[in-house]
């Protein structure tokens, strides 16, 4: 079994997709919910995700791996450990105490950055993360999501000039 199918099996076994009536972060209602927090707190699933992303970026010259808080941070950490690429954590907004940074980690001008996310619907949080990296001097070359709900994220990121590469889609579960 290839690593993608191993990941799908692990996600199914851990009941990451739940069925019922759910309100998404966009405010829209859905008949299913992708509970990625359940997945990213499981070390076996997290390791499989890190292996997959690390393989996909192995031939690239990546300086940093980044992701938005909260859901992507365990993934970013796992990929950083697996690939030995330093990581960046992107806050939803600047904090008004301490260093007041939007991005935690050492982002230098023209660093080539891969941005990852746990799950996407429209891709808005991923777009904001990419814009944060770009506006702070980083060059986002690739973006990955563990599960794409296939509700516009790929198209919305394409409009931003970034190809979103899902590890799996909801169709893989249906």
DSSP output for 63-110: SEEEEETTTTHHHHHHHHHHHT--EEEE-SS--SSTT--SEES---TT
Question: What's the burial of 59, exposed, middle or buried (CB within 10 Å: 0-12/13-18/19+)?
Answer: exposed
Position 96 scores a pLDDT of 53
Mean pLDDT score, 64-89: 96
**Percent of the chain topping pLDDT 90:** 78
- Taking only the tens place, the pLDDT of each residue in 21-71 is 998 877 888 999 999 998 999 999 999 999 999 999 999 999 999 999 888
Position 94 scores a pLDDT of 58
152 — pLDDT class (breaks 50, 70, 90): very high
The annotation places the binding site at 91-92, 95, 117-125, 149
State how far the Cα of 44 lies from the Cα of 12, in Å rounded to an integer: 13
pLDDT at 4 over 80: yes
The annotation places the binding site for orotate at 121, 149
| pTM listed for this prediction | 0.91
Kindly report the CATH number that applies to the domain delimited by 3-172: 3.40.50.2020
The annotation places the binding site for 5-phospho-alpha-D-ribose 1-diphosphate at 91-92, 95, 117-125
Any idea where the domains of the chain sit in the sequence?
3-172
């Amino acid at each position: 079994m290839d690593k993608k199918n191993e990941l799908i099996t692990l996600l199914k076994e851990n009941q990451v997709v739940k069925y019922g009536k759910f309100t998404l972060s966009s405010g829209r209602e859905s008949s299913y919910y992708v509970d990625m927090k359940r997945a990213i707190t499981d070390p076996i699933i997290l390791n499989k995700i890190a292996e997959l992303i690390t393989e996909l970026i192995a031939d690239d010259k990546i300086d940093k791996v980044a992701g938005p808080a909260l859901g992507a941070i365990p993934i970013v950490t796992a990929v950083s450990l697996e690939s030995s690429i330093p990581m960046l954590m992107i806050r939803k907004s600047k904090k008004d105490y301490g260093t007041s940074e939007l991005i935690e980690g050492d982002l230098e001008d023209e660093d080539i950055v891969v941005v990852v996310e746990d799950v996407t619907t429209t891709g808005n949080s991923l777009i904001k993360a990419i814009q944060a990296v770009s506006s702070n001097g980083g060059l986002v070359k690739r973006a990955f999501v563990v599960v794409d709900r296939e509700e516009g994220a790929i198209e919305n990121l394409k409009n931003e000039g970034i190809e979103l590469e899902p590890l799996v889609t909801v169709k893989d579960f249906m």
